[in-house]
Structure formats: C-alpha cells, structure tokens
C-alpha cells in the first residue's frame, strides 16, 4: 500500500513540475500584436504632440527656422516609420 502511495505522489509531483517548467522552457519571444500595436499608436500620438509643440515654439520665436525644419522632418520620418509598422501588423 505504501509503494502505491509513493508512486502516485511521485507521479503527481512530476506532473506538477512539468506543468510549471514547460512554459518557461518553451516560452515564446513574440510580442503580442495588440500590445505592440497599442504601443505604436501611443508613440505616434506622442510624436504628433511634439510636432504641435514645435510649431507653437516656432511661431512664438523660440526655435529658429532651420531647427524647426530639421526637427519637424525628423519627427515626420519617425511617424512614417511607425505608420508603416502599424500597417504591417494589421
């Protein structure tokens, strides 16, 4: 009777260890699409706000025309890359 009990306990413990360890070994490295798309949309919104702030600073006179054009083009390029990534995910 004790041998059967020990075999059953050993089997159950092995099953529990397998259940816990398997996801850790086989874990996926993919970023879930929804989280990634949400992050990209958030980054796009932040960049659009930065462009608006830059335009306000330019109209107030806090930023030179050269800096305005360079920074605005950089931000637009980043937004274009993000939009391309969003389209690729969808």
- DSSP symbols for 34-90: HHHHHHHHHHHHHHHHHHHHHHHHHHHTSS-HHHHHHHHHHHHHHHHHHHHHHHHH-
C-alpha Rg value of the chain to the nearest Å? 27
Domain ranges of the chain: 2-89
Give the whole-number percent of the chain exceeding pLDDT 90. Answer: 50
* Cα separation, 83 vs 90, whole angstroms: 11
In sequence order, which residues have a C-beta less than 8 Å from that of residue 7 and are 6 or more positions away? none
The string of pLDDT tens digits covering residues 25-58 is: 776 656 565 668 889 999 999 999 999 999 999 9
């Amino acid at each position: 009777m004790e041998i059967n009990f020990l075999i059953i306990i050993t089997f159950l413990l092995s099953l529990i260890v397998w259940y816990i360890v398997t996801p850790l070994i086989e874990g996926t490295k993919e970023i879930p699409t929804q989280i990634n798309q949400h992050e990209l949309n958030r980054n796009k919104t932040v960049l659009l706000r930065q462009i608006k702030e830059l335009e306000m600073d330019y109209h107030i006179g806090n930023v030179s025309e050269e800096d305005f054009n360079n920074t605005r083009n950089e931000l637009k390029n980043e937004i274009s890359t993000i939009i391309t990534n969003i389209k690729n995910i969808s």
